[in-house]
Structure 1
Amino acid sequence: MTGLAEVLVVTGVLSAGVVYGTDVFFAVVGRPALEEAREESVTDVMGRLHRYGDARMPVFGALGLASTLGLVFASGTGSTASGWALVALAGLGTQLAAYLTVAKPVNTALTAAAAQGHWNLASRPLQRRWDSVIVPRALGLAVALAGLTLAALSLR
């Protein structure tokens, strides 16, 4: 690997890896722990986590998307690496679609409730809705990282 394609694939892996690690953590650890937590605790803690997450995590998502899209072209349209980068883009798109349509509205509701001190919010159904897409989100990111890894190997 040399040049721009190398930089883009490394940037894509690192950026998508941050989001992947976060989603896998919540799929494996956060989801069962939240099922055992008191409802007011779920509202408070998750509302605050989403406040920071929704402000900071899009940087990693956008960088991952941009670098992966750049890799499609930098590795030579029609090349094997470009094909794997397209697979990665599909995985990133899957994660993003699930986030925007299901998780983001839940994040917004929990963030507002926590900020206003509304601990009596029925957060359990909201959290379950969020949980319903965490595994597909993590799987989409796994596909993205596999695609980026295979693209990197194709550039050698």
Structure 2
Amino acid sequence: MLDVLAIIAALTTAVIFGTDTLGALVMRPAYAALDDATMTRVVGLAHHYGNARMPVPGILSVITAAAATLTALLTGHPAAGAAAGIGLLLLLVWLLLFNRVSLPINKTFIAAAEAGQVPPGARGLQERWDSIINLRAALQGAALLCFCLTLVLAA
């Protein structure tokens, strides 16, 4: 059971890691090359779909990470439990950053895109969002490694 939980935690974390990595490596420079109105429309639409669809893998990653941690500790795999627990902690830090910084900005861009407007300070908002995307990707990547390590240590 531990291996299944760690695999699900890894796969669902990989979805968010890949999305954040794409944002850091591809979308950030692409958005910088757009005028504010186009950037607002594209960013707003992207966040509209992201906010609607990404909670599923995000919630599953946290739940399965917690379950893997608990299962490992209860079945006599303390090292695997520690790895899964660290992965869970990294996901929770990511979630805190996302909810405090990224999500309010996402909502601003979604509302502006739906209204056909450019929010005041649009470029500054996007720069603020961009300011933590590397950290978000790193947290997800490190969590993914922890869940892979959980599999190795539980074997």
Following superposition of structure 1 onto structure 2, how do residues 1-156 of structure 1 map, counting pairs within 5 Å? 4-77=1-74, 79-119=78-118, 121-156=120-155
User: What TM-score comes out, normalization by structure 1 length?
Assistant: 0.94
Cα deviation, residue 120, structure 1: 6.0
Q: Which runs of 4 or more aligned residues in structure 1 lie more than 4 Å from their structure 2 counterparts after TM superposition?
A: none
**Gapped runs of 5+ residues in structure 1?**
none
Partners of 1:134 and 1:128 lie apart in 2 by: 10
Cα deviation, residue 95, structure 1: 1.2
Q: Percent identity?
A: 33
Partners of 2:121 and 2:98 lie apart in 1 by: 21
Report the count of equivalent residues: 153
Partners of 1:51 and 1:143 lie apart in 2 by: 27
**Gapped runs of 5+ residues in structure 2?**
none
User: What TM-score comes out, normalization by structure 2 length?
Assistant: 0.95
Cα deviation, residue 143, structure 1: 1.3
Could you report, residue by residue, the CA deviation over 1:80-109 in whole angstroms, capped at 9, with x for unpaired residues? 100000110121112111100000000000
**Structure 1 contact 87–143 (Cα < 8 Å) conserved:** no
Q: Which amino acid aligns with 1:134?
A: I
Q: Which amino acid aligns with 2:105?
A: V
Q: Which amino acid aligns with 2:66?
A: L
